[in-house]
Amino acid sequence: MIEANLTNLSQPVRLLFTGFLLVTLMGLYMAGFQIMETHGKADGQPGLSVNDIVYSYYGNRSGSKLESMLNGQMEPMAPDEVRFKLIQWAREGGSIKDWLPEIKPIMEQYCVSCHAEGASIPNFNQFENLQKVAQVDEGASIASLTRVSHIHLFGISFIFLFVGWIFGMANFPERWKIILIATPFVFLLLDVLSWWLTKYFPVFAWLTMLGGVGSSLASMIMIVTSLGQMWMWEFVEKRD
């Protein structure tokens, strides 16, 4: 029996593999676009950088938006002691307990002349709107990390399984085959692990970059090689 090989597949199987690999290749590009669209804009600059990853997973913990606005654009809107009081309140968590006795009167006196209902800026007559800007951005929540992690691990391992399986039938040096088939799985694990590490230690953001680049690169090589062998061989042989 001839061993299954990408150059001697029956036509239906070859089409099946080709369809799967082409769609997967497109999925990889889409995943790249999606990362640029979501994480890429996290730091306000176009393009994906380590900072984007830090903001997405670790957050921007230097302070709340309320605090940075009160020290910046909104500084002239209230006297210092009022601003300090608001900043203090935000740093202590922005609880509703102080809203009625202390915070709401400040809003009414200094802020809601502009921050009113119907304006394009947040309406500070409502506690929820002020609370939102008083919160420190802690990045990805545990709930969202758990959700995205398990979807990635289950879903992507299947993609790598089939891509690797098909590539396993290619004419390619055995040693490189082993490396290329193992690499995406290793980088997938590193990638997911790095999200959790970055959530707590922003220095690990570079590992996220490495994980994504590593697994896409290895899959790309496997996909292109497999497609090439399934279709190029045909032409080469027919020409001879």
Minimum separation from the CB atom of position 68 to ligand HEC (A): 8
Distance between CA atoms of residues 114 and 132, nearest Å: 17
What is the greatest pairwise CA distance in the chain? 89
**Residues in contact with ligand HEC by the rule CB under 6 A:** 65-66, 69-70, 73-74, 77-78, 86, 110-111, 113-115, 121-122, 133
Q: How far is the CB of 77 from ligand HEC (least distance, A)?
A: 4
In the bound state with ligand HEC, the residue whose beta carbon lies nearer, of 122 and 214, is 122
Whether 18 and 202 have beta carbons less than 8 Å apart is answered as no
Provide the token pair at 196.
């959790």
**Contact 15/21 with Cβ under 8 angstroms?**
no
Give the Cα separation of 199 and 121 in Å (integer). 30
Q: How far is the CB of 92 from ligand HEC (least distance, A)?
A: 16
Residue number, 10 or 62, with CB nearest to ligand HEC: 62
Report the residue number, 127 or 206, with the smaller CB distance to ligand HEC. 127
- Which residue type is seen at 193? L
| Closer Cβ to ligand HEC, 121 or 182, answer by number | 121
First-to-last C-alpha distance (Å) of the chain:
25
CB 24 within 8 A of CB 107: no
Q: Which is nearer to ligand HEC, 65 or 152 (CB)?
A: 65
Give the shortest CB-209-to-ligand HEC separation in angstroms: 29
Computed on alpha carbons and rounded to an integer, the radius of gyration of the chain in Å comes to: 27
Q: Which is nearer to ligand HEC, 78 or 180 (CB)?
A: 78
Q: Minimum distance from CB of 119 to ligand HEC (Å)? A: 8
CA separation, residue 127 to residues 41, 87, 130, 172 (Å) = 28, 15, 5, 64
> What burial class does residue 54 get, using C-beta atoms within 10 Å of its C-beta: 0-12 exposed, 13-18 middle, 19+ buried?
buried
Residue 111 beta carbon to ligand HEC: minimum distance, rounded to whole angstroms? 3
> If 0-12 CB within 10 Å is exposed, 13-18 middle and 19+ buried, where does residue 6 land?
buried
Tell me how far, at minimum, the Cβ of 142 lies from ligand HEC, in Å. 25
Q: Which C-beta is closer to ligand HEC: that of 70 or that of 192?
A: 70
Q: Whole-angstrom Cα distance, residue 38 to residue 52?
A: 9
